[in-house]
Structure 1
Amino acid sequence: MEELPRRSTRSASTRSNGPEALATLIMESKFTVFVTGAGISTNGGIRDYTGPNGILTEARKRKRRNVAVDEGYWDDGLYKSITNATPTATHFGIQSLVEHGFVDYVISQNEDGLHVRSGLDRENLSELHGNDFIELCSNEDCCDREVFRDFVTYAAGDTYKTTNPLGRHVTGRACPHCASPNSLLDTCVDFKEMPDGAPWGVNPVHQMGRAQDAMKRADLVVAWGSSLDVLANYFDPWDPESEEWGRGTSCRLAAVTMGRVCDEEQCVIKLDSDVDEVMRRVLAALQLQPVKTYDPAEDVVIAKAVPPHPHEPIADWHITRDTASSAVRG
């Protein structure tokens, strides 16, 4: 198959506001960054936070009915759906766009690990809020700090570390590489924490530094399933008052998401459409193969997962290996 050029000679002023126009933008771009949020995972079976059936929406309804919302509600509402989910057409489409050189970097605000499970090269990925299936060893002498699991890495019975005497993020498991007891940390960034802050420091998961570098180089940022509200706390190329980020229109913004977007007035394209359908049409416009179906045998997280030592704490939520649910959803 003949590969299309990265840049097009077509004029931006003649575009229509649709998936094919987005494909043209991507072809014209010299450095494209995709920013992904919860909206790309809902078709995979993961509940979002603020949608009609979102976890936060339901919690607010319960509060109005004076129904208690304990930690178990949050745990089961999110982590059960994360472990039952599979990568969507958008996840596989992003993996293909990166592989074929149309997208240079992906910044994810999701902790569901679906980008990694889709086969996306992690050299092109920052998981700013962590990965539910990866632990990090806090022993600085450890030669291999990452540990993949096929279960949610929070310690069972103490999901938010509110009572853990070992401290926040400590999972209670020993590192299989260096055998240091209680040295493993989950990688999920909690409220009021920063991806480049304590206790992790620089690591292969969050990659805040690489995300910042990518945003500074970008001449096109495409938000997929994200309002960009959270990301604006880290970097905002369209903030006119920021000495570091205020670049005006030198970086174009496009968005594929339901609802409003931060800096929406800067959007050259805004699609309130199903993200998977838009992705299929973008791939077709770029003459790329349709998205593949999910195969558990090709799942990177499952392949690299290390079982815990006997009697170590383990969460109740495990990745589902049922091949009957292995078709791409959405």
Structure 2
Amino acid sequence: MSTDVDFQPGKLDRDATFYVAGHRGLVGSAIWRNLEAAGFSNLVGRSSSDLDLKNREDVFAFFAATRPRYVVLAAAKVGGILANSTYPVDFLSDNLRIQVNVLDAAREYGVERLLFLGSSCIYPKFAEQPIREDSLLTGHLEPTNDAYAIAKIAGIMQVQAVRRQYGLPWISAMPTNLYGPGDNFSPEGSHVLPALIRRYDEAARTDAPSVTNWGSGSPMREFLHVDDMAAACLHLMEHYDGPSQVNVGTGSDVTIKELASLVASAVGYAGKIEWDASKPDGTPRKLLDVSKLTESGWTAAISLEEGIHGTVDWYRSNLAQIRS
């Protein structure tokens, strides 16, 4: 059986079969790139059209055929405030099925090391800032994304249960708001940063006199480049083994107004920035305490300004192919 004592599990075998669930998404594709760069030679991925992770029978057949030694579960149905508020059933049902199927199959077929990716929205809406890992389940969730949060909490609980019942060194990581190449820039499904990039880029190209953003602009958010997140995932798999989920972030945040100004500068938009306070703000502040991660020997390397500029460049270079 596993214990509550953390220890270093050691370097992963670069030749072992490594399954990245959700390898074409924002996080999964970054993890894939990072693992390739780190020398992993037997990466396995399946698109949603090739393997529906909501189909339990197909998931078990896939694990039986591929027998991965390592797994990162980055597959999920994700979206911003609008999508989460409009389709709570989808966010709850789809994510629960994906998680249960993959985690059960991984246990059945002897996956040695697994990392489950959650989200900082698992924490209470009014959790003490910065949010520590032990804030989980201590208060009410943000209602605009509570269905998604409950699904992710269930994933954390299942990983912890596997540790207790089967003694497997599986872990969970909770990233802050992520962004970067491969993000979802659609008006209906995007998170705040890619939504701002799309909005301000279109305004710059059409010489719009003003841009109106949702909410008051006062909420504070922490942003982590997805390539940093990918590096943190491999670091945790090789340096951390404990029952608690680990927060992954930068340890600093900005207001949405400040974020909008950074985006406007990156795309070259000089018009007026306005705010529609009738639209919801969401959680007032969400900054993660990353001391557990820092103590393990990892810190983020990509600054927000640098990351936004790079993401804007990627967006403009891939405008014809990105999700619309």
Name the TM-score class by shorter chain: under 0.3
Task: Report the TM-score when normalising by structure 2.
Answer: 0.25
Higher RCO, Cα 8 Å, sep 6+: 1
Q: TM-score, normalised by structure 1?
A: 0.25
Q: Give the structure with the larger helix fraction.
A: 2
